[in-house]
C-alpha cells in the first residue's frame, strides 16, 4: 500500500461523503447552488476522471464509477429542484425588509435631489 493509494482512497471517501450530503440537502430543496457548483467542479476539475482511472489497492477499495453515478444523480436532482422551484418565487421576511429599507434610503436621497412638485405633470381622468 503506497501513499498514492491512501490519498486516492481518502479523496474518494471524502468526495462521496460530500456528494451524499449535498444530495440529501438538494432533495430537501436546500443548498441547490452549492450542490450544483460542487458537482460541476468534480466534472470539470478532473477529480472524477482521476477516481475512475486510478489503480486501486485491494486493501483500500473504492468505486469511481459509483461516485460518478452519484454525482450525476446529484446534478439531476438539482436540475429537477430548480424546475420545481422556478414556479415558486418567494422572499423571506428578512429579505423583504432589507429591500424595503433600501428603497426607503433611495427615496430619501431622491427627495433631496429632485424638487418637490405640488401637482403632477400629467393628470389622468377617471
At 56-77, the pLDDT tens digits run: 767 778 888 999 999 999 999 9
Residue 8 lies in a domain: yes
Q: Is the dihedral of CA 50, 53, 55, 60 positive or negative?
A: positive
Q: pTM for this structure?
A: 0.64
In a domain, 124, yes or no: no
Question: Residue 73, SS3?
Answer: helix
Count of domains for the chain: 1
Q: Could you tell me if residue 121 is inside a domain?
A: no
The per-residue b/e assignment along 78-110, b for 16 or more CB within 10 angstroms, e otherwise, is: beebeeeeeeeeeeeeeeeeeeeeeeeeeeeee
Full residue range of the structural domain in which residue 24 is found: 3-113
For the ranges 20-24, 30-34, 58-62, the maximum mean pLDDT occurs at 20-24
Amino acid at each position: 500500500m503506497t501513499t498514492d493509494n491512501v490519498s486516492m482512497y481518502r479523496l474518494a471517501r471524502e468526495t462521496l461523503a460530500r456528494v451524499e450530503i449535498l444530495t440529501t440537502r438538494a432533495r430537501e430543496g436546500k443548498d441547490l447552488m452549492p450542490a450544483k457548483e460542487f458537482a460541476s467542479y468534480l466534472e470539470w476539475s478532473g477529480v472524477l476522471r482521476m477516481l475512475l482511472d486510478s489503480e486501486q489497492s485491494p486493501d483500500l477499495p473504492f468505486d469511481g464509477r459509483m461516485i460518478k453515478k452519484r454525482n450525476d444523480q446529484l446534478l439531476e436532482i438539482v436540475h429537477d429542484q430548480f424546475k420545481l422551484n422556478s414556479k415558486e418565487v418567494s422572499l423571506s421576511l428578512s429579505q423583504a425588509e432589507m429591500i424595503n429599507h433600501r428603497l426607503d434610503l433611495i427615496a430619501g436621497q431622491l427627495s433631496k435631489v429632485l424638487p418637490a412638485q405640488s401637482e403632477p405633470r400629467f393628470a389622468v381622468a377617471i
